[in-house]
Structure 1
């Protein structure tokens, strides 16, 4: 039995002994709990106030733009800075932005342009948070534990997200939207406090000092050169950009789908989102214990097929007269189970082949590629929803997503190298 398999079997028990990493996970869990609460609150607020699917698609499209336009710059800058300080400061900034949204809504002064402004600012802060978190993982874990660590991290943060989704429906129903968003603002601040207590191993910032004399443009160019040399990463990133594009109708139209097709309320939206996240948790736990027994390529292809099938089948409840919400929830659970299988191996592969001092900018560049067509998908979803029914859109894009796995099956280099 090789070392990676042994680590995979030990899973969480082995990771718990690495205190800085567990503190890091706790900070992420608090932040994700708040994220999931305001995802329900914001979505419900926008649709109730405007009733516009087009506006929801446009707002989601705008959310992706900062990452696409400035993500690589942020990643290159993060590689020069302390990852811990970046995460702390961005969480504080997000706490302020979310708090302002809650204040304006509570005062009855919140307008559509405020939503666009706060969405852009929050997304801009996330451009720095994401590469800082990615570059933190291999600094806190040994290489042999990356796959298990990423799977456990995904499961832990998704567990927090599941709890947040469950709490969101209750908070909106009992405390109102404004109070729910206030809670989220406080959670971002608490996450920053927890992150400030994480102790990184010494010597992890040495490269930031040695590279200070280099221009950020040169650092950004390094990321492009690195990705060009690793064709497998480049091809996989482009494929996952298509996967994200296919998922946009479900992401944009989930709230009207729950209200109009399933005839449910905020509790129904929380349940549906919660089952999706619950599947991700279960898939992540399976990955942490048994994922190392399989080739990454097998896991990725299987995951994409599961997500595509579950996605297409969410259209079935529209043609049922009973048990619509439970049936939709079951297929959301199936989608969730496939997501860690599809994504965790790619993240782990990125960490394995990328030098630690380049992880920030390379992960940011990959994120830019993966999200590059998401704004188009968001806008298109809002437009197509006025021409086609949501079940038809879900079937069409679910089938397209599943068929994308054929591209990977036809790639000999992908099957052999991953």
Structure 2
């Protein structure tokens, strides 16, 4: 009994930090609203247009700014007060959601409104995501709890993905999409309150000799000049490019293949969220990064195979079960890469490196979504998604081949920094996988 209690407390050890605890609660409430808006918007677009291409176009407009602005946002995160940057981005996100809710509730919404407001949110997220990723280290009091905090962030994100879409599906069926978006607008109050209640050390601006472009160049050379870091970023990019389009195509599966409604879409997203939550909790209970390389290989393969099987399913229960595996595989791969990067990078370059992570994650997804939606218009969503899953499985093979080389590259660095040897071994393992992509 005592052992089980110790394991449970260890799983949530990052919550002992007051600032992180505040952020965890506020962000949790806000993320439920975010997922509700995402489901409502996808259903609204498909209901208004019956166009798979426009589903991809909306996703593209909301995420492509992260691809363009992400690296510059990383420079900002390293130069300026991350706490104040987040206050600005979260406030602007609330304004975006409020405007969108007003247009939907008054029945004046048009597709160009959705595209424009999605692009505006994409610009905000371009600065928000890398800043938020870098801010985690400031909220956690003990450095050894950083990996646990990142895993808990993933748990929180996916708990919201379990709850938000399910509520949204029921609300859309009952009162329409506008109420979901309005709830999201209100939910930003929680995360803003949590940020304002934090007690942080006084911000000390680091005097940097280089201008923005020079700082960006320096960060790029640091991240992509070292194969283990480069490899992890490439894994995230490939998963986003080939794997993330499945969320764009889900409304089509829910309505046209499974013959359901908005609630069916909510159940599919909720099942994916449940699988992802399980994966995040699996990572949270790990005490170190040892073995994450092998985990990455397994989970990216699981994700790809589950997508292939889901693409041919016409039974709701089977589809829901397969969504569990897609969610698990996706989040464990993404969160493992995040944890490894956060452990590998130097503090003064953390914002820039995490901006490249965000660019790979959020920036490649819209390109994949546009490609997948365009192909789906020609050959159908089933074959398109099967192809995406196949490419995910195929892309991990080179990383598996180069694991030993990357392990050797990382080990001396962590020994020099005084980190435990077993931690170094685990980090290398994960880094290894990705390096192979450089040889493709």
Q: State TM-score, norm by structure 2.
A: 0.86
Given the alignment of the two structures, is residue 341 of structure 1 paired with residue 332 of structure 2, yes or no?
A: yes
Q: CA deviation at 1:238?
A: 2.1
Rounded to whole Å, the distance in 2 between the matches of 1:283 and 1:369 is: 21
Query: Gaps (5+ residues) in structure 1?
Result: 1-6, 319-323
Q: CA deviation at 1:11?
A: 2.6
Q: CA deviation at 1:14?
A: 2.3
Q: CA deviation at 1:43?
A: 0.3
**Which consecutive aligned stretches of 4+ in structure 1 deviate over 4 angstroms post-superposition?**
7-10
Q: Which residue does 1:243 correspond to in 2?
A: 239
Q: Which residue does 1:328 correspond to in 2?
A: 319
Matched-pair contact (CA < 8 Å) for 1:75–1:127: no
Q: Which residue does 1:3 correspond to in 2?
A: none
Q: Which residue does 2:423 correspond to in 1?
A: none
Task: Call closer, same or farther: CA 1:413–1:28 in 2, change over 3 Å.
Answer: farther
Given the alignment of the two structures, is residue 17 of structure 1 paired with residue 16 of structure 2, yes or no?
A: yes
Matched-pair contact (CA < 8 Å) for 2:151–2:335: yes
Task: Call closer, same or farther: CA 1:58–1:21 in 2, change over 3 Å.
Answer: same
Q: CA deviation at 1:124?
A: 0.8
Matched-pair contact (CA < 8 Å) for 2:233–2:356: no
Q: CA deviation at 1:248?
A: 4.2
Q: Which residue does 2:180 correspond to in 1?
A: 180
Q: Which residue does 1:259 correspond to in 2?
A: 255
Rounded to whole Å, the distance in 2 between the matches of 1:377 and 1:13 is: 35
Task: Call closer, same or farther: CA 1:160–1:252 in 2, change over 3 Å.
Answer: closer
Matched-pair contact (CA < 8 Å) for 2:64–2:367: no
Q: Report 1:354-369 matches (<5 A).
A: 354-369=345-360
Q: Which residue does 2:207 correspond to in 1?
A: 210
Matched-pair contact (CA < 8 Å) for 1:147–1:344: no
Q: Which residue does 2:306 correspond to in 1?
A: 310
Given the alignment of the two structures, is residue 151 of structure 1 paired with residue 143 of structure 2, yes or no?
A: no
Given the alignment of the two structures, is residue 113 of structure 1 paired with residue 108 of structure 2, yes or no?
A: no
Secondary structure (helix, strand or coil) at the match of 1:290 reads coil
Task: Call closer, same or farther: CA 1:353–1:190 in 2, change over 3 Å.
Answer: same
Rounded to whole Å, the distance in 1 between the matches of 2:256 and 2:395 is: 30
Q: Which residue does 1:384 correspond to in 2?
A: 375
Aligned mate of 2:274, from 258, 278, 292: 278
RMSD of aligned alpha carbons: 2.0
Q: CA deviation at 1:97?
A: 0.9
Rounded to whole Å, the distance in 1 between the matches of 2:313 and 2:12 is: 40
Rounded to whole Å, the distance in 2 between the matches of 1:48 and 1:361 is: 39
Matched-pair contact (CA < 8 Å) for 2:239–2:392: yes
Aligned residues: 403
Rounded to whole Å, the distance in 1 between the matches of 2:7 and 2:72 is: 35
Once structures 1 and 2 are overlaid, which stretch shifts more, 369-378 or 53-62? 369-378
Choose between structure 1 and 2 for higher RCO, CA contacts under 8 A separated by at least 6 residues.
1
Given the alignment of the two structures, is residue 300 of structure 1 paired with residue 296 of structure 2, yes or no?
A: yes
Q: Which residue does 1:127 correspond to in 2?
A: 126
Rounded to whole Å, the distance in 2 between the matches of 1:194 and 1:9 is: 25
Secondary structure (helix, strand or coil) at the match of 2:173 reads helix
